Amino acid sequence: MTVKLVIALIYLGVVFYLGYVGWKHTREAADYMLAGRRMNPFIMAMSYGATFISTSAIVGFGGVASLFGFPLLWLTFANIFVGIFIAMVFFGRRTRRMGVALDSHTFPELLGRRFKSRFIQGFAGLVIFLFIPVYAAAVLIGISRMIEVSLGIPYAAALIGFTLILAVYVVTGGMKAVMYTDAFQGGIMVVMMLILVAHTYSLLGGVVPAHQALTDMAALMPEKLRAGGLEGWTQGTRFGTPLWLTIYTTIVFGVGVGVLAQPQLAVRYMTVSSDRQLNRAVLYGGVFILLMTGVAFVVGALSNVIFHQTTGKLAIAVAGGNVDVVIPTYIETIMPAWFSTLFLMAMLAAAMSTLSSQYHAGGTSLGRDLLEKGLGLGKQESIKGTQWGVVVTIAMGLVWALFLPESVIAKATAFFFGLCAATFLPVYFLGLYWKRMSRTAAVASMLGGFGFSMFWLLFVHEAEAKVIGLCQILFGKATLVADATKGSWVFLLQWLDPNIVALPFSLLLAVAVALVTRHDAEHAEYCWRNY
């Protein structure tokens, strides 16, 4: 225990030093929000990856992989192909160029200036500020569970203590501090994940024997999962069943596509000075994501084999029914003692890198986009207002983390990714590629996508509707389709992710309204002047 504390303190010392370096070089709004637009491509890529992948992916989705198995590897593919290649090549270049042309410092500001609309910037800032704390809470829960299991510190104390540590360098150092620490933390994560997957396979005699052993355990699949459509951890799910819909519409599609509209990621395209640097970042980012999510999902699934061999139980049973505890328990009980110490440091890195970016995005959305630009309050181009926004975002994330239920990490992550996709993605994409896109169409798309997504979450999608309970209060049933004929397509809508319906609706709304409304052709040319 003493060794773990000493190593953790040394690690935190390095983080605070890097935060100090970022603070020392932060003198104006562009430094605080965009690292002066001069960030090294390797640091940018590592920061992007470390922000993208956190304890919500490693601990949360790794635990979900212990339930659903290898089908979650489709999310790894989506993360690399969509979240890295498509994001940087087709979104990153134009975002960087248009960001420079419009002198945009945040993602909502880019949208607002593209369409010359304070409302768009303010509304986007409001959505991010209100809902990114839910995503931050998912990450915070992941690392706090890890600290609870590894160090024996009470969960609530871990939540509060970790939050206070993060607040110090995020509030003061801005984007430079965030990206410097992200790169350092990303390096630690890579090393730890390589050791984790190598040791796991060695315990099972190699890759082929390990996968064969997991395949042979299909008969042990819990009846509830089998009834939902899951046939085995390597065999996958039956098409059209509730679990098939959950895995492929919520997890793979919702998170895999939703990454394109993540404000804390999109803003990183504007921190480098050229397209060439973005191209270089694709390779770094792709390898990083493969090592993070690929390893977490494989180890999460294979933990069933090792736990069954050592305890006679499946992973979820060993974790007491809480998927968020599967990976921490695996590290503490199966991996060597020395590794659990180092892995705790890697999880601290994963959580701190993502949380710092989430808090920074939430703070800039409140301070700059909503208050300064959207509502015209406060001193323009002020760092102080954004810093207070970060403080409020941190406090909201802590409150959510204290009150959210168990096994919520993956659900909260998918919720935020899906909401961002339905609200922002059509406007963001068409704003970058279609000069005909109008301000009216952008407003209609954002409001329509947000409204449709929230309706589906509150009244149709069981995962959120049942927990929130608004549908139960208003209509006396968990979801609007809960009493439909069991097995019918209407009944199955309860497991269809909001993104499957809200995102196409938002896109069609944007195109339809744009075709019948006037657009500012002169301003569009101005936005395109760096293309």
Average pLDDT value for residue range 372-384:
64
Average pLDDT value for residue range 284-290:
82
Average pLDDT value for residue range 364-383:
71
DSSP letters along 413-440, please? HHHHHHHHHHHHHHHHHHHHH-TT--HH
pLDDT (0 to 100) of residue 163 = 84
Question: Do 297 and 74 touch, CB atoms closer than 8 A?
Answer: no
Question: Do 479 and 471 touch, CB atoms closer than 8 A?
Answer: yes
Average pLDDT value for residue range 424-453:
96
pLDDT confidence band for 18 (50 / 70 / 90): low
Average pLDDT value for residue range 256-273:
80
Average pLDDT value for residue range 236-262:
90
pLDDT (0 to 100) of residue 379 = 58
pLDDT (0 to 100) of residue 446 = 97
Of 288, 264, 296, 352, nearest in space to 45 by CA? 288
Question: Do 136 and 362 touch, CB atoms closer than 8 A?
Answer: yes
User: Is pLDDT above 50 for 213?
Assistant: yes
pLDDT confidence band for 210 (50 / 70 / 90): very high
Contacts of 378 (CB under 8 A, 6+ apart): 367, 371, 372, 385
Contacts of 294 (CB under 8 A, 6+ apart): 73, 76
pLDDT (0 to 100) of residue 32 = 46
Q: What's the pLDDT tens digit per position in 306-324?
A: 999 999 999 999 998 888 8
User: Is pLDDT above 90 for 43?
Assistant: no
Mean pLDDT of the chain: 84
User: Is pLDDT above 80 for 350?
Assistant: no
User: Is pLDDT above 80 for 488?
Assistant: yes
Task: Give the SS3 label for residue 105.
Answer: coil
pLDDT (0 to 100) of residue 177 = 60
pLDDT confidence band for 30 (50 / 70 / 90): very low
pLDDT (0 to 100) of residue 34 = 47
Taking every pair of Cα atoms in the chain, the longest distance, rounded to a whole number of angstroms, is 69
Of 250, 245, 145, 160, nearest in space to 489 by CA? 245
pLDDT confidence band for 447 (50 / 70 / 90): very high
pLDDT (0 to 100) of residue 33 = 46
User: Is pLDDT above 80 for 247?
Assistant: yes
Domains of the chain, residue spans: 2-15+36-461+496-527
Question: Do 413 and 255 touch, CB atoms closer than 8 A?
Answer: yes
Of 2, 22, 4, nearest in space to 14 by CA? 22
pLDDT (0 to 100) of residue 414 = 80
pLDDT (0 to 100) of residue 198 = 95
Question: Do 297 and 57 touch, CB atoms closer than 8 A?
Answer: no
pLDDT (0 to 100) of residue 477 = 92
- The residue that leads in pLDDT, 355 or 233, is 233
The CA distance from 479 to 333, in Å, is 40
Q: What's the pLDDT tens digit per position in 175-193?
A: 556 666 666 767 778 888 8
Residue 231 phi/psi, 5-degree rounding, is -100, -20
Of 140, 298, 135, 290, nearest in space to 210 by CA? 298
The CA distance from 364 to 387, in Å, is 8
Fold of the 2-15+36-461+496-527 domain: Sodium/glucose cotransporter (1.20.1730)
pLDDT confidence band for 221 (50 / 70 / 90): very high
Q: What's the pLDDT tens digit per position in 120-173?
A: 999 999 999 999 888 888 888 878 887 887 778 888 888 888 888 777 756 655
Contacts of 193 (CB under 8 A, 6+ apart): 58, 291, 292, 295, 296, 346
